[in-house]
Amino acid sequence: MKQLRRRAELLRQVRAFFDARDFLEVETPLLIPSPGLDLHLQAFQVGTRYLSTSPEYQMKRLLAEGYERIYQITRAFREGEFGSRHNPEFSMLEFYRANAGVDDVMKDTEDLVEAVTGGEVVLGDRRISTRAPFARMTVCEAFEAYAKVTPEETLEMARSDEDRFFFTLVDQVEPRIAELDHAVFLTEYPASQASLARKKASDPRVAERFEAYVAGVELCNGFGELTDPVEQRGRFEQDQRERRARGLPVYPIDERFLEALERGMPPSGGNAVGLDRLIAVASGTTEIRNVMAFADDEL
């Protein structure tokens, strides 16, 4: 009961944060024609449609229609996701800003986390600062510091041996990030690991993608958004080929999303925040089931 009351209080704080910054709260459908083509996400199919893994496509369509600041608190569904920080059905916060860049969205993110956590997370006898500004490390810097892999090797690994890249990230890099006594942004992911983010202008080998970590908990996945419809279609088609080669379900391309990009979407930034994870760390735990009314195995 205490945790659910705390959850309700934090949800009010999240809404107050965005409302005070002139973001419009929106709702988009949960049953959608395409759940996205990310190689690591599996969707639940319902008839000819899919339960949403993220409201990203629909929210970007709203950006293309002229909405400048929007956010949404919604349910998302991903098959096969179980664990202390995963559940097949979970709460997601997504927000987008038109005419803004990745640095603007990172500033929004660190301010949000600081506001919700009060500037500090307490986990047992550990105290982790969540005061803005957060520390920043590029993926290449983190791999070099924590896994002794050079930037060149990291970029090549991400392109040619994705399994090794993720194993290194999860097995060597993230445990060291978890030891930090402050929040940190991991930035500039290899371009091959960011199919919806635009490439960095000064170094197209990497993308404008970031993730925020607190006590080793990955809280979000944010982008400087790709707005080029031709490049986006090419990336989608490559993802479809890769899914087919791996024997994974090949989901359809969302043509209306691409049509919106063709009409013109302004330069934008956006972020998807695991709301259960944020509420958990703000409540002194890294187990999301502790802040959910019912986890999947309790149904």
Q: What is the pLDDT of residues 169-181, one digit of tens each?
A: 999 999 999 999 9
Q: For the segment 132-150, what is each residue's pLDDT rounded down to a tens digit?
A: 999 999 999 999 999 999 9
Residue 154: partners with Cβ closer than 8 Å, 6 or more residues away? 139, 140, 143, 144, 165, 190
Q: What is the average per-residue pLDDT within 234-259? A: 97
Q: For the segment 196-226, what is each residue's pLDDT rounded down to a tens digit?
A: 999 999 999 999 999 999 999 999 999 999 9
Amino acid at 197: A
Q: What is the average per-residue pLDDT within 33-54? A: 96
Strands (E), the chain: 24-25, 31-32, 45-46, 49-51, 69-77, 89-98, 120-123, 126-129, 135-138, 184-187, 199-200, 203-207, 209-214, 217-218, 220-224, 268-274
Residue 62 pLDDT grade (very low, low, confident, very high; cuts 50, 70, 90):
very high
Determine what percent of the chain is predicted with pLDDT higher than 70: 100
The helix (run of H) or strand (run of E) holding residue 108 is helix 102-117
CA distance 118 to 131: 8
Residue 163 pLDDT grade (very low, low, confident, very high; cuts 50, 70, 90):
very high
Q: What is the average per-residue pLDDT within 84-108? A: 97
Q: Is 112 exposed, middle or buried (0-12, 13-18, 19+ CB in 10 A)?
A: buried
CA distance 237 to 58: 19
Task: Write phi, then psi, for 209 (nearest 5 degrees).
Answer: -120, 140
- For residue 98, CA distances in Å to 90, 228, 246, 260 come to 26, 15, 36, 14
Q: What is the average per-residue pLDDT within 245-269? A: 97
CA distance 18 to 130: 18
Average pLDDT, the chain: 97
**DSSP label at residue 172:** I
Residue 1 pLDDT grade (very low, low, confident, very high; cuts 50, 70, 90):
confident
CA distance 43 to 48: 12
Q: 69-77 and 89-98 as β-strands: parallel, antiparallel, unpaired?
A: antiparallel
Q: For the segment 103-132, what is each residue's pLDDT rounded down to a tens digit?
A: 999 999 999 999 999 999 999 999 999 999
Residue 244 has pLDDT above 90, yes or no: yes
- The Cβ of residue 217 has, within 10 Å, a number of other Cβ atoms equal to 24
Q: Terminal CA-to-CA distance of the chain, rounded, Å?
A: 18
- For residue 240, CA distances in Å to 38, 139, 195, 230, 253 come to 9, 26, 12, 15, 9
CA distance 170 to 155: 16
pTM of the entire predicted model = 0.96
Q: 209-214 and 268-274 as β-strands: parallel, antiparallel, unpaired?
A: unpaired
Residue 47 backbone zone (phi > 0: left; psi -120 to 50: alpha; other: beta): left
Residue 299 has pLDDT above 90, yes or no: yes
